[in-house]
């Protein structure tokens, strides 16, 4: 089974900061990776699909990159409404979520 490891588990940043969240797979997942945002008390929401494609309606400050085993979600300028937990998800072999990164305001 493919394991997905996200880091850091908690990230504190200030409004306007550039923020980078990491997701590492235990084996090559061929860019078959999505990112989801979950705000407190809500269902998750799709942000990025197939590594670097922005879902409709998602602000352009969000972007994704990566290949092989290493993937990144970047927020170019953190906004207060971005406070949430972010999960990566691989569907290359089986289906596995990462443990999540909780993003807080400093």
Partner 1 sequence: EVQLVESGGGLVKPGSSLKLSCVASGFTFSSYGMHWIRQAPKKGLEWIALIYYDSSNKYYADSVKGRFTISRDNSKNTLYLEMNSLRSEDTAMYYCAKFDWELGFDYWGQGVMVTVSS
Q: Which residues bind partner 1 (CB under 8 A)?
A: 1, 34, 36, 38, 43-46, 49-50, 55, 85, 87, 89, 91, 94-100
Q: Cα 12 to the chain's mean position, in Å?
A: 15
Query: 81 by DSSP, 3-state: which?
Result: helix
Shortest Cβ 28–partner 1 spacing (Å): 19
Q: Please, which residue, 43 or 81, has the CB nearer to partner 1?
A: 43
35 within 8 A of 22, measured Cβ to Cβ: no
Q: Please, which residue, 51 or 75, has the CB nearer to partner 1?
A: 51
Helix (H) or strand (E) holding 27: none
Q: Please, which residue, 14 or 40, has the CB nearer to partner 1?
A: 40
Shortest Cβ 22–partner 1 spacing (Å): 15
User: How many whole angstroms separate alpha carbon 52 and alpha carbon 26?
Assistant: 20
């Amino acid at each position: 089974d493919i394991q997905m490891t996200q880091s850091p588990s908690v990230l504190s940043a200030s409004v306007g900061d550039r923020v980078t969240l990491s997701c590492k797979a235990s084996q090559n997942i061929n860019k078959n990776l999505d990112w989801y945002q979950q705000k407190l008390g809500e269902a998750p929401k799709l942000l990025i699909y197939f590594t670097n494609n922005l879902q409709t309606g998602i602000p352009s400050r969000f972007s994704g990159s990566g290949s092989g085993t290493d993937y990144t979600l970047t927020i170019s300028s953190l906004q207060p409404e971005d406070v949430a937990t972010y999960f990566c998800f691989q569907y290359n072999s089986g289906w596995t979520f990462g443990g999540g990164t909780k993003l807080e305001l400093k």
